[in-house]
Amino acid sequence: MQRVRHTFSRDNRITCKREFDEVFAQGEKVVGRQFVGYWIRRCGQGSKLGLVVSRKVGKAVVRNRVKRHIREFFRRERAHFAVDLHLVVVARPSSAQMNGTESAAALRQLLQQGGVLDG
């Protein structure tokens, strides 16, 4: 039995402005209390994640913690995502008060509502 690796390499990230703009302009959107999700399907490019956490969320330590929670959720749940999905998660200020478990639950609910995540 081969062990599944749950990594989050640079290939799994949306990094350039053009890709972010494409997801925002052409993608679908679902709004939640703590997060807003945008996604678009790109055949043959694999699933990728982009993060937007503004200074309204909090100081650098808080923003980094929120990003860490979102990345961890994506890393663990990537197998349950739709195929070849480019996802951008925008954190709202209320996400700063959440721990990892609460963030994962909010993201799971948001993405199931949008039809991105199965189960």
User: Domains along the chain?
Assistant: 10-113 (3.30.230.10)
Where do the H-state alpha helices sit in 28-95? 60-77
Q: What is the pTM of this model?
A: 0.88
Q: pLDDT at position 84, please?
A: 85
Instruction: pLDDT band for 5, please (50, 70, 90 cuts).
Output: low
Q: What is the mean pLDDT of residues 13-38?
A: 94
Q: pLDDT at position 64, please?
A: 96
Mean pLDDT of the chain: 90
- Per-residue pLDDT at 2 exceeds 60: no
Angle at 22 between CA 77 and CA 11, to 5 degrees: 45
- Distance between CA atoms of 77 and 118, rounded to whole angstroms? 10
pLDDT digits (tens, 9 = 90+) for 62-119: 999 999 999 999 989 888 888 888 999 999 999 999 999 999 999 999 999 988 887 5
- Distance between CA atoms of 94 and 81, rounded to whole angstroms? 25
